[in-house]
Amino acid sequence: MSQQPSRRTIVAGAAALSGLAHPLAAAAQPAASPAMQAVLDYVQGQKTTGFLIIQNRRTLAERNWPAPAGDAVFKNFVYETAPEGALLEDVASQQKSFVSLLVAVAIDKGLLDVARPVSAYIGSGWSKAASDQEARIRLVDVLTMSSGLTEGFAYAAPPGAVFFYNTPVYAITKMVVAAAAKAPLQTVTHDWLTGPAGMSHTAWRKRPSTPAFAAADNPTGLVTSPRDAARFGQIVLDGGKAADGRRIVSEASLRAMFDRSATNPAYGRFWWLNGGAFTVRAGKRVDGPLIPAAPADLVAALGALDRKLYVVPSKKLVVVRMGAATPDKAFDQQLWLRLTKAIA
């Protein structure tokens, strides 16, 4: 990969946004309604550091709170403070959804074909499966978490047969994108996504060597801000276009990111999807949608420590949550019970 930008560089780049010229920037906000205040009180009590609601390109709520004291895990995920007061944080597995969009752009450019084997792009021997087994693992199998590999890259099932949320195997996708583009991932991400979209806070960073990351076998984290995450969500709402109208990704490739996986209807290509008949999470099948209280067309980029990016086309809505792990294990459901009352 190319040399990582310093933490100071990320913040300096963000300074260009401090004038609030971007369409998603916060204007003066009216006092929260009782229903919206209930939302804000709830998320603040859940160790949230950044919370942002955008609807119809209007900021309905934006709040930033200090990092929770004494949280040893969270400190591995936090960097500097952006000019608007939000912490810059490693968004954990939310990065998968960002990479999903990079794959979609590579498809548009004719650089990738998800039906081809992974080995067509990074060579053979990338897994511990037998050569004939590895050769049958397509890029789409990795994108839908159905590669058939264990976290140790050993063969466990035929590709496309079983959903298994597998971060180490996911990380191969970053190598595939860089190989297809013949450029470092940092450069590809800037040129294809963050530059055109005005996401000046966002960059890949080498993660610290701590147990919090060692188990994931995914050494680079995506550091971003709530506003940049919202801009990413707005690209989805706008059919693949940046705020200034520039095309980031085609509508066809964007839609393909949200095709339901045959092995888990609550999952697409590194995106979580609401409204399916059942959900497979943590190795368990649960009947019903991902978030029963949320609109059926919600799509989500989710990460450890309850990083949330919800996009709801029917409501023209983007919601971002960052912070430490929430005490409430039913956070998604409880938040949407409150949001439904607060948002028209």
- Of 23-27, 211-215, 331-335, the poorest mean pLDDT is in 23-27
Closest CA to 264 of 295, 294, 285: 285
Question: 135 vs 3, which has greater pLDDT?
Answer: 135
Contact 340, 296 (CB under 8 A): no
User: Does residue 4 register a pLDDT over 90?
Assistant: no
Amino acid letter for position 209: S
The model's confidence at residue 66, banded by pLDDT at 50, 70 and 90, is: very high
User: Does residue 74 register a pLDDT over 50?
Assistant: yes
User: Does residue 7 register a pLDDT over 70?
Assistant: no
The token duo for 340 is 């439904």
The model's confidence at residue 344, banded by pLDDT at 50, 70 and 90, is: confident
Q: What is the pLDDT of residues 151-162, one digit of tens each?
A: 999 999 999 999
Mind giving me the DSSP string for 131-149? HHHHTT-BHHHHHTT---B
3-state secondary structure of 272: strand
Q: What are phi and psi of 94, to 5 degrees?
A: -60, -25
CA distance 36 to 240: 29
User: What's the whole-number average pLDDT of the chain?
Assistant: 91
Which residues, in sequence order, are CB contacts of 18 under 8 Å at separation 6+?
83, 84
Contact 254, 239 (CB under 8 A): yes
Q: How, if at all, do strands 220-224 and 203-206 pair? A: antiparallel
Radius of gyration of the chain (CA): 19
Q: In what order do the strands lie in the sheet with 317-323?
A: 58-64, 48-55, 317-323, 307-312, 299-303, 272-273
Q: What is the pLDDT of residues 275-333, one digit of tens each?
A: 999 999 988 999 999 999 999 999 999 999 999 999 999 999 999 999 999 999 999 99
Q: Which residue has the tokens 């309850």?
A: 306
Mean pLDDT of 11-26: 36
Q: What is the pTM of this model?
A: 0.91
Q: What is the pLDDT of residues 189-210, one digit of tens each?
A: 999 999 999 999 999 999 988 7
Question: Alpha-carbon torsion 321, 322, 323, 327, what sign?
Answer: positive
Q: What per-residue confidence (pLDDT) applies to 208? A: 87
Q: Which residue has the tokens 């952006």?
A: 82
3-state secondary structure of 217: coil
Which residues, in sequence order, are CB contacts of 118 under 8 Å at separation 6+?
126, 134, 137, 138, 139, 142, 172, 176
User: Does residue 19 register a pLDDT over 60?
Assistant: no
Q: What per-residue confidence (pLDDT) applies to 12? A: 32
User: Does residue 15 register a pLDDT over 50?
Assistant: no
Q: What is the pLDDT of residues 82-93, one digit of tens each?
A: 999 999 999 999
Q: What per-residue confidence (pLDDT) applies to 214? A: 64
The model's confidence at residue 142, banded by pLDDT at 50, 70 and 90, is: very high
